[in-house]
Amino acid sequence: MYPEKSSLSISFHIRRTRPNKRGEVPVCVRITVNGQRTDTTIHTSIRPELWDDKRGQASPRSALGKSVNLYLENVRARFIHVHRELEFEQQPYTVHDVLGRFLGRRPSNRHTLVELFREHNDRCHKLVGIDLAAATAVRYETCLKHTLAFIRHHYHSDDMDLDKVDRRFIEEFEFYLKTACNCCHNTATKYLKNFKKITRIALARKWMQQDPFAEIRFKLLPVQREMPEKAEIDRLLHKEITIPRLAQTRDIFIFCCFTGLAFSDIKQLAPEHLVTDVQGRRWIRKPRKKTGNMCNIPLLKIPEQILERYRTDPECVAHNVLLPVTSNQKMNAYLKELSDICGIRKQLTTHCARHFFATYTLAYGVSIESVAKMLGHSNVNMTRHYAKVLDQTILHEMDKLPEEF
C-alpha cells in the first residue's frame, strides 16, 4: 500500500487467443500503480486486423476504429478520475483498489451508510408486532428516504462510506431537513434521533472511528397544542349531525375525550377489553399498543351510551371491535368538518381528546397518579406533558386566598 503520491499508467491490448463467433477478440486494459499491475476486460471487442499493437489502440482509418478509440479514451479518463479520488482521500491504496472502484466494488472492510441503514430497516420490519410498532418501521423508512435524497442533493451520489459521515454531515443534513423538506425543528430533531441510531450501530461494530453526534444535544421545543374547552365539547356532543360519517366520527372523538384512549388503542378496542368488577362497575382494561402499559379506565355514562349505540353495528360485529373506527387521516379530516359545523375555531384532532381527558380529570381533582394509570403512562412525568392548567383551576385556587392578600 502507498500512502505517498503514487504513479499511474494505463495501456490497452487485445487478447488474440479468445476470439468470439464473429472473429472479434476482447480489448483489455492494463493499469500499473507504483510497479503493481493488473488487467481486466473493458466490455468491447474488435477484429484483430483492426488493432494497432504499437499504438495500443484501434486503427483510426475506419469508423469502427474511431468509435473504439473514443471509448478507450473514456475508460482512461475514468481510471484517472478514480486515481485522483483515492489520492484526495489520503488513505493507503493498491492497484486493486483502483480497479475495484472503477468496477464499482468496495473493499470488504469498508461499509456504507445506506447499506447499514437498509439492513437496520429490514430488521425493524421483521420485528413489527414483536418488539416494534408498524409506525416505528415506517418512521425509519421515511428517515432513510430523506437521507438518500440528501446524499444525492449534497454529495451527488447514491451512497457514501460510513467514515465520511462527520459533524459537518449532520449539520448539513439538519439544514436540508428544515429547508428542502420543510420540517419544523421538532420533526427534524426526531429524524436526526432516528439517524443517530444508525451511527451508534456503526460505532459498536467499529465501522466508524468517530461519533458524528459527539457534543450534539437534542432539544425539542415546547409545543402549544390547541385544546377544546368543555363548552365546545358539550356543543359538539349535543349538536344534531345528520351525515352518518360525521356522526360516527363525533361519537368516536367524544368517546376518546371521556376515556383518554389514543387513536391506535381505540381502533383495537374489542369486547374482551371490557370487564366488570365485583361492585358491578364496568372498566376498560387494555394494554397500550405503543408501550404495552396497561390502561385502567372506569367506563363513564357517555362512553357507555356510545358503545351501546354500536353494539350491533355490522362493521363492529364483523371485525370483533367495539367502535367502527376509520383511518386517522380520515378521522382528522372529518373532525375539521365538525369544527366548522359546530363553530369551533380550533383544530380538532384525535390526539386532542387525550389532552382533554388528562387536563379535565386533573382539573376536577383526580390525582395525577390515577390519571397516569388511566392513560397507561409508566410515570407521572409523562402525564404532566398532557396536562394543562385551566383558568377555572387558577380561580378555584386563588379563591382560597384572603381578600387582603
Task: Collect all residues with Cβ–Cβ distance below 8 Å to 18 and sequence separation of at least 6.
Answer: 25, 26
Are 195 and 240 part of one and the same domain? no
Q: Which of 102, 122, 143 is the last residue of a domain?
A: 102
Q: Which of 72, 102, 132 is the last residue of a domain?
A: 102
Residue bearing cell 357507555: 304
CA distance 260 to 274: 15
CB-based contact 58:47 (threshold 8 Å)? no
Residue 161 lies in a domain: yes
pLDDT, position 10: 93
- Which domain covers residue 131, as residue numbers? 113-204
Angle at 255 between CA 281 and CA 227, to 5 degrees: 125
CA distance 143 to 156: 18
pLDDT, position 138: 92
**Helices in 239-323 by DSSP H: which ranges?**
244-257, 263-268, 301-309, 314-319
Are 238 and 174 part of one and the same domain? no
At 36-83, the pLDDT tens digits run: 888 888 888 899 999 999 899 998 888 888 889 999 999 999 999 988
Are 260 and 344 part of one and the same domain? yes
Run of H or E residues at 259? none
Are 259 and 317 part of one and the same domain? yes
Are 334 and 252 part of one and the same domain? yes
Are 250 and 361 part of one and the same domain? yes
Residue 376 lies in a domain: yes
Are 251 and 330 part of one and the same domain? yes
Are 121 and 87 part of one and the same domain? no
pLDDT in tens, the chain (405 residues): 444 567 889 999 998 888 888 889 999 999 999 888 888 888 888 999 999 998 999 988 888 888 899 999 999 999 999 888 888 877 778 888 888 888 876 555 578 899 999 999 999 999 988 888 788 899 999 999 999 999 999 888 888 888 889 999 999 999 999 999 999 999 999 999 999 999 999 999 988 889 999 989 999 887 776 778 889 999 999 999 999 999 999 999 999 999 999 998 999 999 999 999 999 899 999 998 877 888 899 999 999 999 999 999 999 999 999 999 999 999 999 999 999 999 998 889 998 898 889 888 888 888 888 988 898 888 888 787 766 655 556 556 666 666 554
What radius of gyration, in Å, describes the C-alpha atoms of the chain? 33
pLDDT, position 159: 85
Residue 274 lies in a domain: yes
- What φ, ψ does residue 271 adopt, rounded to 5°? -55, -35
Are 39 and 85 part of one and the same domain? yes
CATH number, domain with residue 254: 1.10.443.10
How many domains, the chain?
3
Residue 131 lies in a domain: yes
pLDDT, position 166: 92
